A and B are shown apart, each in its own frame.
Chain A
Amino acid sequence: MLDLASRRKAAQEVWQELENSSLPVIYFGMASCGRAAGAIEVRKAVEEALDENFLTARLVDVGCIGPCYLEPLMDIALPGWARVSYGQMTPAKAKKLVVAALKSGAPPLDDALGVLEPLAFRQTGDIPHLFDHPMLKPQVRIVLRNCGLIDPEELDHYLAHEGYMGLQKALQMSPEEVIDQVRLSGLRGRGGSGFPTYKKWEICRAVPGEEKYLVCNADEGDPGAFMNRSLIEGDPHALLEGILIAAYAIGANHGVIYIRAEYPLAIARLRKALKQMRENNLLGNNILGTNFSFEIKIKEGAGAFVCGEETALFASIEGKRGMPRSRPPFPAVKGLFGKPTVNNNVETLGTLPNILRNGAEWYHQYGTPTSSGTKTYSLVGKVRRTGLIEVPLGMTLRQIIFDIGGGTEKPFKSVQTGGPSGGCLSAEYLDTPVDYEALRAAGSIMGSGGLIVMDTDTCVVDIAHYFLEFIQKESCGKCAPCRIGTRHLAETLERITTGMAEPEDLETLKRLSVTIAQGSLCGLGQSAPNSVITSLRSFTLEYEAHVHQKYCPAGVCKNLFQYVILPDACTGCQACARVCPVDAITGSLKQPHSIDSSICIRCRACYEACRFNAIEGRPLA
């Protein structure tokens, strides 16, 4: 049996030793996002630089702290100095920075983003805390508290940051008391539907049966969503601790993490973490010396979007084709392998250790009375500061998009919440608080937390078409409205975006949407037409322009507009002519240019090259 208190003490020493290291420590944001942005090359360059200059430093890989637009991130902690963060690293920049810092003994401060703990008795160079950065300041980091700060592959780091304290507390309570804590905290399912977490648990706990399952849904399939991946890659033990707490509460003896095979790094980190848990009596028989025994398996999904639907997910785990089935019976009564099952999202489970550790009341102080706590979002699209954020529920869309995201370059047009099944909300909804009820009332959904921001350069019909294409390809094909209806919907939208639409197609869209929403078997179909319904409501004029005038006001649908150069605004700088791949632009230097529409392929290169806003999309003659 493991004495967790002494184990934690040892872990704290390990962490202290790293913080007070006599050697410089360099941290790299090595989650998938950082790697995609070039973190591996940056780290390699730093290693080379250290070698070349006979310098030594400790290199530590951490997860992602959130601001994607600043990737790759690198922190330098010199003895006597606070940890200083730098963004948008390139191998060359990183080399220079590290050499300069290590040689001089002080980090260069010009490019620094901010400093991180520990600050006490250390120099900060008077630069602000990283969490005072405009993107991070309004955030409340509960689930993501360790992401980007600790090494996710070190159990010691997690333990040193109050890791497994939530579990310890839970194991001292009865399962009913744990459920009660979760009830008091007001935690609702973070996978999208917002069903009170404790209710599912209660039902499942009440169902008689020796064998019960806890399934963690890590099949994050929405395009542009990466909350779960970031959490697992940055702090896998937070999820695993949450799984143990939930399993203890419902009386489950088997756990399955269903995770997309497209997340190899997350899977590798989970496997490593599971091994560490096993070595430390946090998994297996008689966990931490109690009567609670539990096993966790990882099941890699093959990438079907519909497998995020819980009954399809169970089918997939059982080795069957991932197809949803009708409810009732609900999974809490009859789920995986026909046994009572609770299926919770990664974020829901990742929140649990914090609730148990700090108490339900503490958690309930965040958010709104009905939607308590925080929610992570992936803020992407035409927003200035993209990234992974965590904010209290009830914050308005405006605060999220403009305060945290820094707004859009071109005027704001719409935001899609909740992934492909969500709705497009126009500017008039910007003051909607982001909680479950308000979003549903606005015709959209919380979903797992995707926020895709669009500006006036985005065509909502085109976006709706994109999402419907996605959904119709990802429909499992079981029920007719989803399989056939979404195809008709996507094809009608295609007709509209290519100028082949008839006036009655707008009616067809509405009719199909109603049938699909009412008639489909599972959530995928029922929410499939959301983007059409909401965009049709808020942007009727834009749809009508496409259908009646054959004109795409956003200048996206290639058949439905032409580029013209405004003679008054054109300075004749020839920037547009230089980038035109088909030589459609003519005009001599310092004279207004013109575009030959018959040659133009509407590639948008000139539009983006022009610095004087002299190029505009206009209706076809």
Chain B
Amino acid sequence: MTALTLTINGKTMQADRGQTILQAAQQYGVDIPTLCAYKDLPPFGGCRMCVVEVDGMRGFPTACTTPVEEGMVIRTETSTLQSLRLETFNMLLSEHPLSCLVCPENGNCTECMMTIRKGGVTTGCGSCPKDNQCELQTLAKRLGVDDIRLPVKYRMYPVEKYDPFYDRDYNLCILCGRCVQVCEKLHLLSTLTFVERGARTVVGTAFGRNHVDAGCSFCGACVDRCPTGALTEKTRKWEGVAEQEFESTCTYCAAGCSIRLQVRKGMVIGSLPGNDYSVNAGNLCVHGRFGISEVVNHAARLKKPWYLIDGRKFECSWEEAIERTAEKLTGLKPGQISMQVSANLPDEDLYLAGKFAHQVLGIPQADAGNIKHLSGFERLIKHAASFEQLRKADCVLIAGLNTHYSLSWLEFDLKELKRNGAFLISIGSGKRPLDQFVHELIYSRDDQAESVIGQLVETGEKVAIEKETSAAVRSASALHRSVRPFLLIGPEYTGNAGILDKLALLAEKLHAGVICLPMRGNIYGVLRSGAEYSINHRVDQPELLYCIGEQPTLPAAYTIYQNAFPAESGRVDIGMPAALFSERDGTFTNAELRQRQLSRAVDPPEMALPDWQIIAAIARKMGAAGFEFKSAAEIREDFGNARVNENWNPDIVNALLALPSGQPNEPVFLGSPLSTKVAGLRTLFPSLKAEAGER
């Protein structure tokens, strides 16, 4: 970076070669108004707000597109520029419902007439979901707009509400192009483009298809970047501005993406990509972006403990519920109890559930002597690497991963990898966005995948590549030649023991880095905490079934059910409401084997408690020692002291990984597919099924 000297508004400043005038000015706090420029997008130059005067340059160049040069003399606030900006802004406003912006009664109106909000059609700021968050409002103030001198040209587009998760009202759109650019930047199949020409130009999809059909992955990046109310999230459109934000982790799949929970009035109103870029680099997939507020605010959340007598349900206090539970558990032998714990729980709860099983209920830990081999999954874990390492790989085998919806943010990383010269190989069945993109595509039905991967293991690097060489052989050669090979394993294969075995062989032979991403939240936490044996302690006809975050699928004489959501079927004798990840502190172990932080953004609903508190209370009630925890941090300490089980039972690991229901790419959360809680997902996943059927 060479430092350059330039003059902005008479002040001498330093800038780096390659910077734009806008970037240089912003470094020094010089405010140049912009609408289309956005920090992580390439300059567009469409809104013309950032026009400046530069000595020696013809006309009025835009600060966002013009690179700095040595000795440039720049002026950003001359009267010509101000009037040019104001006139252009007037033009933008002439297409945008602006009555509130220039209304002298604006202040009183906001105070007194809150009820006019939530209109089906936005006619002014008062009825716009982005009121007070809109960049046009800010700019109107900055430029001093009091009236516009042009006729109003409302564009009369119908509001597009037929796709899940976000609504589109292009009457409010100023065509800044951020959504189009970010879609192209992040995704293999970019959905958005400009359609039509001239005054009829609008953002849309090819052939006017809806976003589901056009291949949108619903990552929400466009919504986050929209400066106006044109793109709004359905569930939070009327929730207003967030009062607080909490950095946390999405627990839906094993990636453990960083998220930012937005909170207003004690409620999670939305989730945005978090500031920790190590995993998801500022992007999310549909589950983390749109799936969280609907789940944590779900109307069916359990709020009070209860018990069942003669088919009648009695709500009760925690003391009573704990007492009844302790009473039932006391005196039963391990062979009479089946305890099932969800892999979605945070590390602390998993650890405590395991401890409870061994120490209180007496369920034995796996016996090292009985275990003949490790499962493929465990062998892969020994190669677990980080997403940062993935980004440095030079050859990546993408196995059983469809980035269309789940993990769609990986597409950006894969694009970057390809741009940096990495060789990409995809193996899987069904149509997927990766098909056209990777260097080698190996189609295989799931039952053939095992043998194809076996072929990758056996074929060495010194294979002669000819015209008729198969994709598998070419891929094998590339993998064996590579210096930093990487295996990226998606949910389609994580449940298949045979395929995992072969992939483990491949990883061992190549010394490859591995990221294995099952759609079962904290599966790594389960294995790490050594709790896996107890967690899926299955007894076929138990006397008593204790489900923590799982559905009661076994017929039992007595069922104790501890979850945030009601049981989908079966009889529950004691029910206990649990808090969710947004309502408690804790950690979560992701596919990199890193502990990711959860944070308590809001209080649990009514009486609901974190699972560890419930388990600890039951243990104490049963007279067990070592359960006197006051916080999740204390459990973590205890956890650190405990011996972590190294001897996992492969059968149980495989059983854990096999998904009970739902699409392979859809997270299972607390015992049921996420789409049972998130309405929008129901429109996405049937199409996935149909797609797979097409081939």
A-side residues, CB < 8 A to B, are 304, 306, 321, 323, 325-326, 328-329, 472-481, 483-488, 491, 508, 511-512, 514-515, 518-521, 526
A selection of 29 A-B contacts at a CB cut-off of 8 Å is: A321-B194, A326-B43, A326-B62, A326-B66, A328-B67, A329-B67, A475-B201, A477-B175, A478-B45, A478-B46, A478-B175, A479-B46, A479-B48, A480-B92, A483-B175, A484-B92, A484-B94, A484-B95, A485-B88, A485-B91, A487-B198, A488-B151, A491-B151, A515-B87, A515-B88, A518-B60, A519-B51, A521-B46, A526-B59
B156 contacts partner chain A, Cβ-Cβ < 8 Å? no
- In the bound complex, what is the Cα–Cα distance between A321 and B202 (angstroms)? 13
Name 19 extra pairs, CB < 8 A, besides A477-B197, A478-B175, A515-B88.
Answer: A304-B197, A472-B198, A473-B197, A475-B198, A475-B201, A478-B45, A478-B46, A479-B47, A480-B47, A484-B94, A484-B153, A485-B91, A487-B199, A488-B94, A491-B151, A491-B153, A511-B149, A518-B80, A519-B48
Within 8 A of A (CB), among B584-614: none
B174 contacts partner chain A, Cβ-Cβ < 8 Å? yes
Q: Which of B45, B84, B149, B175 contacts A325 (CB 8 A)?
A: B45
**Given that A321-B193, A326-B61, A515-B84 are known contacts, is A480 also in contact with B91, CB under 8 Å in the complex?**
yes
B-chain residues with CB within 8 Å of residue A483 when the two chains form the complex: 175, 198-199, 201
B-chain residues with CB within 8 Å of residue A328 when the two chains form the complex: 66-67
A-chain residues with CB within 8 Å of residue B193 when the two chains form the complex: 321
Contact B199 A475 (CB under 8 A): yes
Say how far B154's CB is from chain A's closest CB, in angstroms.
12
Q: Which of A326, A329, A518 contacts B84 (CB 8 A)?
A: A518
Interface residues on B, range: 35 or more
Q: Which of A325, A481, A514, A515 contacts B65 (CB 8 A)?
A: A325
Interface flags, B54-75, vs A, CB<8A=1, else 0: 0000011110011100000000
Say how far A313's CB is from chain B's closest CB, in angstroms.
16
Contact B91 A484 (CB under 8 A): yes
- In the bound complex, what is the Cα–Cα distance between A515 and B46 (angstroms)? 14
- In the bound complex, what is the Cα–Cα distance between A476 and B199 (angstroms)? 9
- In the bound complex, what is the Cα–Cα distance between A73 and B152 (angstroms)? 53
B150 contacts partner chain A, Cβ-Cβ < 8 Å? yes
Contact B197 A519 (CB under 8 A): no
Say how far B389's CB is from chain A's closest CB, in angstroms.
29
Contact A480 B46 (CB under 8 A): yes
Contact A519 B84 (CB under 8 A): yes
> Which of B48, B62, B151: most chain A Cβ within 10 A?
B48
B196 contacts partner chain A, Cβ-Cβ < 8 Å? yes
- In the bound complex, what is the Cα–Cα distance between A526 and B58 (angstroms)? 12
A-chain residues with CB within 8 Å of residue B94 when the two chains form the complex: 484, 488
Say how far A214's CB is from chain B's closest CB, in angstroms.
25
B491 contacts partner chain A, Cβ-Cβ < 8 Å? no
B-chain residues with CB within 8 Å of residue A478 when the two chains form the complex: 44-46, 175, 177, 194, 201
Say how far B595's CB is from chain A's closest CB, in angstroms.
43
> Which of A306, A477, A491, A508: most chain B Cβ within 10 A?
A477
Say how far A500's CB is from chain B's closest CB, in angstroms.
11
- In the bound complex, what is the Cα–Cα distance between A272 and B358 (angstroms)? 85
- In the bound complex, what is the Cα–Cα distance between A353 and B295 (angstroms)? 72
- In the bound complex, what is the Cα–Cα distance between A326 and B22 (angstroms)? 14
Say how far A504's CB is from chain B's closest CB, in angstroms.
9
Nearest 5 pairs of A and B residues by beta carbon:
A477-B201, A326-B65, A487-B199, A515-B87, A484-B91
Contact A521 B59 (CB under 8 A): no
- In the bound complex, what is the Cα–Cα distance between A424 and B69 (angstroms)? 39
B-chain residues with CB within 8 Å of residue A304 when the two chains form the complex: 197
Determine the residue in chain B with the shortest Cβ distance to A325: B45
Contact A326 B45 (CB under 8 A): yes
**Given that A328-B66, A475-B198, A488-B94 are known contacts, is A481 also in contact with B151, CB under 8 Å in the complex?**
no
Determine the residue in chain B with the shortest Cβ distance to A520: B48
Contact A488 B150 (CB under 8 A): yes
A-chain residues with CB within 8 Å of residue B60 when the two chains form the complex: 518-519
**Given that A477-B194, A483-B175 are known contacts, is A518 also in contact with B201, CB under 8 Å in the complex?**
no
Within 8 A of A (CB), among B87-110: 87-88, 91-92, 94-95
- In the bound complex, what is the Cα–Cα distance between A475 and B193 (angstroms)? 16
> Which of B80, B149, B198: most chain A Cβ within 10 A?
B198
Interface flags, B160-193, vs A, CB<8A=1, else 0: 0000000000000011010000000000000001
Contact A477 B196 (CB under 8 A): yes
**Given that A488-B153, A519-B48 are known contacts, is A473 also in contact with B198, CB under 8 Å in the complex?**
yes
Contact B197 A474 (CB under 8 A): yes
A-chain residues with CB within 8 Å of residue B149 when the two chains form the complex: 508, 511
- In the bound complex, what is the Cα–Cα distance between A512 and B91 (angstroms)? 9
Q: Which of A472, A474, A521 contacts B48 (CB 8 A)?
A: A521
Within 8 A of A (CB), among B391-442: none
Say how far A196's CB is from chain B's closest CB, in angstroms.
16
Say how far B4's CB is from chain A's closest CB, in angstroms.
15
B-chain residues with CB within 8 Å of residue A491 when the two chains form the complex: 151, 153
Interface flags, B324-348, vs A, CB<8A=1, else 0: 0000000000000000000000000
Contact B88 A480 (CB under 8 A): yes
- In the bound complex, what is the Cα–Cα distance between A427 and B626 (angstroms)? 103
Contact A481 B88 (CB under 8 A): yes
- In the bound complex, what is the Cα–Cα distance between A326 and B64 (angstroms)? 10
Determine the residue in chain A with the shortest Cβ distance to B199: A487
B-chain residues with CB within 8 Å of residue A485 when the two chains form the complex: 88, 91
- In the bound complex, what is the Cα–Cα distance between A321 and B206 (angstroms)? 12
A-chain residues with CB within 8 Å of residue B80 when the two chains form the complex: 518
Interface flags, B28-55, vs A, CB<8A=1, else 0: 0000000000000001111110010000
- In the bound complex, what is the Cα–Cα distance between A472 and B221 (angstroms)? 31
Say how far A494's CB is from chain B's closest CB, in angstroms.
12
- In the bound complex, what is the Cα–Cα distance between A508 and B66 (angstroms)? 31
Say how far B277's CB is from chain A's closest CB, in angstroms.
27
A-chain residues with CB within 8 Å of residue B174 when the two chains form the complex: 480
- In the bound complex, what is the Cα–Cα distance between A306 and B198 (angstroms)? 10
- In the bound complex, what is the Cα–Cα distance between A328 and B62 (angstroms)? 10
Contact B48 A481 (CB under 8 A): yes
Contact A487 B92 (CB under 8 A): no
Say how far A310's CB is from chain B's closest CB, in angstroms.
15
- In the bound complex, what is the Cα–Cα distance between A491 and B198 (angstroms)? 13
- In the bound complex, what is the Cα–Cα distance between A508 and B65 (angstroms)? 30
Say how far A308's CB is from chain B's closest CB, in angstroms.
14
A-chain residues with CB within 8 Å of residue B177 when the two chains form the complex: 478
- In the bound complex, what is the Cα–Cα distance between A344 and B43 (angstroms)? 26
Say how far B570's CB is from chain A's closest CB, in angstroms.
56
B-chain residues with CB within 8 Å of residue A321 when the two chains form the complex: 193-194
Say how far B44's CB is from chain A's closest CB, in angstroms.
8
Interface flags, B128-169, vs A, CB<8A=1, else 0: 000000000000000000000111010000000000000000
B-chain residues with CB within 8 Å of residue A325 when the two chains form the complex: 45, 65
B-chain residues with CB within 8 Å of residue A487 when the two chains form the complex: 153, 198-199
Determine the residue in chain A with the shortest Cβ distance to B153: A487
A-chain residues with CB within 8 Å of residue B87 when the two chains form the complex: 481, 511-512, 514-515, 519
- In the bound complex, what is the Cα–Cα distance between A474 and B198 (angstroms)? 6
- In the bound complex, what is the Cα–Cα distance between A326 and B197 (angstroms)? 19
Within 8 A of A (CB), among B553-576: none
- In the bound complex, what is the Cα–Cα distance between A478 and B92 (angstroms)? 12
B-chain residues with CB within 8 Å of residue A472 when the two chains form the complex: 198-199
- In the bound complex, what is the Cα–Cα distance between A508 and B90 (angstroms)? 12
Q: Which of B47, B51, B151, B198 contacts A477 (CB 8 A)?
A: B198
Say how far A150's CB is from chain B's closest CB, in angstroms.
39
Determine the residue in chain B with the shortest Cβ distance to A471: B198
- In the bound complex, what is the Cα–Cα distance between A518 and B174 (angstroms)? 19
Say how far B346's CB is from chain A's closest CB, in angstroms.
46
- In the bound complex, what is the Cα–Cα distance between A304 and B47 (angstroms)? 22
Determine the residue in chain B with the shortest Cβ distance to A495: B151
> Which of A474, A475, A483, A508: most chain B Cβ within 10 A?
A483
- In the bound complex, what is the Cα–Cα distance between A472 and B51 (angstroms)? 22
B-chain residues with CB within 8 Å of residue A479 when the two chains form the complex: 45-48
Contact B48 A475 (CB under 8 A): no
- In the bound complex, what is the Cα–Cα distance between A514 and B81 (angstroms)? 12
